[in-house]
Amino acid sequence: MNLQLSDKVILITGGAKGIGEGITNAFAEEGAIACILGRNPKEAAAIMEKQTARGNRVESYAIEMTDDSTIREAVSRIALKHGHIDAVINNAGGNDAIGLRHGPEDFRRSLEKNIVSCFSLIHHALDHLIASRGVIINIGSKCSVTGQGGTSGYAASKGAMNALTREWALDLAPHGIRVNCVLPAEVITPLYERWLAQAPDPAVAREQLNRTIPLERRTTTVEEIADTVVFLTSPKSSHTTGQLIFVDGGYVHLDRACTQPTSHLKAS
């Protein structure tokens, strides 16, 4: 399927590792110009080298997402170089485990990192997105609707992201801008792999995790998240906006009874 993304300029925050790296690679392979916004140029350089060898285009812009001035400067540089910005993927952030035992200042810093930065980027890119009738994709989290425990800052940020997805979709509909949110649950990234490796028995921990996923008893892949993001950005998804789209193998919405080792439904 031709997703009609050739030469589209896509800004991807945190696009050099984990889910962000998968999203960057997916856009580059569709012929888009994938612009990584992040704090680690070395990680971005490895992706650029790989994709350039394939004839694809990836660019890197070193910014600190909690520094509004660096966001503004990066947006200006990209717009000046290419003449247009077609989509923004708000992916940067992290589960920093800022819970109720932390102080209000820690909570504020978590919000700055995980949601205020998203607002700042859209604010500075807004005129360019209006000009291109562009797309915004937010990368959310299951904890915005399920809770997780011990992570008030991250959960609050992702809950706000759900709300802003619908607020922005309404605000920007007159300009033809679509806004959607993709919500992963359990995705095996390198960071997740390191976390599993710390378990007393990593194999058992992985099997227990897989059992919580109703569909195929496995975690979601980075590529499955990336493919959904790319499709939602493309004109093939031209009338979808304001949606919270769970790519999680049924983790969030299907009855917990189906996560038990055996099912009441047997194949005949």
**Dist. CA 118–CA 106, nearest whole Å:** 18
152-190: burial string, b at 16+ Cβ within 10 Å, e else: bbbbbbbbbbbebbbebbeebeeeebbbbbbbbbbbbbe
Residue of 61, 154, 192, 251 marked catalytic: 154
Residue 219, phi then psi, degrees to nearest 5: -75, 160
Q: Which is it for the CA torsion 192, 193, 199, 205, positive or negative?
A: positive
Answer yes or no: 251 catalytic.
Answer: no
**Dist. CA 229–CA 249, nearest whole Å:** 16
Alpha-carbon distance values, 136 to 76, 122, 244, 259 (Å) = 18, 8, 12, 33
**Dist. CA 81–CA 150, nearest whole Å:** 43
**Dist. CA 39–CA 53, nearest whole Å:** 23
Where in the sequence numbering do the catalytic residues fall? 154
